[in-house]
């Protein structure tokens, strides 16, 4: 894993079904339906990446609530951000603030699974996302079972890298947080390579 605390990667897409089908065709691993986020007007598919990490495919819900607001643009396929799960999310946020890094407050979220069960968790939230999502957000699953414990189909994360116009600043922030991510100079972008028995899928 690029980072030991990695929880999941978020791949946003304008056509959820097409992206999931392309991933399955490339890797031979078929993602499973996750559920719906009523607050965001989104739905997702999931695939495990080994350990307690997974890849989330995020797209628009065909029947969103009138006041729903997606957290990321869903106009194209793009790896928008990543999440970590420190043992104590509240302490991590406080320590980051002491280091001059504002990760935002931890706010409650939830989604309905395909079977109708309600899953709840907390995430750190700032707008806009720090350095275009290259600095991860935090997630605290609390008493909710982690998605990787539900028997997700699994693929292998070969690598997670990034580029940014202010790469040195991003690296400095990640260093202050004690996190590992290879960040080079270039346009703002996260890139992941995921391998299954049939081949590799690149998340850009």
Q: How far apart are the C-alpha atoms of 185 and 70, rounded to whole Å?
A: 29
Tokens of 152: 């997700």
8-state DSSP, 160: E
Phi, psi of 113 (to 5 degrees): -75, 175
- pLDDT at position 38 is 84
- pLDDT at position 111 is 84
Q: Give the largest Cα separation in the chain, rounded.
A: 46
Q: How far apart are the C-alpha atoms of 58 and 70, rounded to whole Å?
A: 10
- pLDDT at position 152 is 94
pTM of the model: 0.94
pLDDT at 1 over 60: no
**pLDDT (average), residues 179-201:** 97
- pLDDT at position 2 is 66
Q: Which of 46-55, 69-78, 123-132 has the lowest mean pLDDT?
A: 123-132
**pLDDT (average), residues 44-53:** 95
- pLDDT at position 18 is 98
- pLDDT at position 129 is 84
pLDDT digits (tens, 9 = 90+) for 10-28: 999 999 999 999 999 999 9
**pLDDT (average), residues 104-132:** 88
Of 150 and 201, more confident:
201
Of 76 and 117, more confident:
76
What number of other Cβ atoms are within 10 A of residue 39's Cβ? 18
pLDDT band at 127 (very low <50, low <70, confident <90, very high): confident
Of 111 and 184, more confident:
184
Distance of CA 21 to the CA centre of its chain: 19
- pLDDT at position 118 is 85
Whether 7 contacts 53, CB under 8 Å:
yes
Whether 31 contacts 46, CB under 8 Å:
yes
Best CA proximity match to 83, nearest among 118, 115, 55: 55
Homologous superfamily (CATH) for 6-158+188-203: 2,3-Dihydroxybiphenyl 1,2-Dioxygenase, domain 1 (3.10.180.10)
pLDDT at 96 over 70: yes
Q: How far apart are the C-alpha atoms of 154 and 142, rounded to whole Å?
A: 23
Instruction: Indicate the domain borders of the chain.
Output: 6-158+188-203
DSSP string covering 46-112: EEE-STT-EEEEEEE-SS--TT---SS--SS-EEEEEEE--S-HHHHHHHHHHTT----EEEEEEEE
- pLDDT at position 128 is 83
pLDDT at 126 over 90: no
Whether 136 contacts 92, CB under 8 Å:
no
Residue 128: cis peptide before it, omega within 30 degrees of 0: yes
């Amino acid at each position: 894993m690029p980072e030991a605390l990695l929880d999941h990667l978020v791949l946003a897409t304008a056509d959820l079904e097409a992206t999931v089908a392309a991933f399955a065709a490339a890797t031979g691993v078929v993602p499973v339906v996750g559920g719906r986020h009523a607050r965001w007007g989104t739905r997702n598919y999931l695939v495990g990446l080994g350990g307690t990490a997974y890849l989330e495919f995020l797209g628009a819900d065909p029947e969103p609530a009138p006041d729903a607001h997606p957290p990321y643009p869903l106009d194209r396929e793009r790896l928008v951000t990543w999440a970590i799960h420190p043992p104590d999310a509240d302490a991590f946020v406080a320590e980051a603030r002491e280091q001059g890094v504002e990760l935002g407050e931890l706010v409650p979220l939830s989604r309905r699974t395909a079977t109708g069960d309600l899953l709840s968790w907390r995430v750190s939230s700032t707008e806009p996302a720090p350095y275009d999502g290259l600095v991860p957000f935090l997630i605290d699953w609390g008493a909710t079972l982690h998605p990787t414990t539900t028997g997700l189909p699994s693929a292998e994360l070969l690598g997670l890298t990034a580029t940014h116009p202010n790469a040195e600043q991003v690296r400095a922030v990640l260093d202050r947080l004690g996190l590992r991510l290879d960040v080079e100079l270039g346009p703002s972008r996260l890139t992941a390579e995921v391998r299954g028995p049939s081949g590799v899928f690149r998340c850009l």
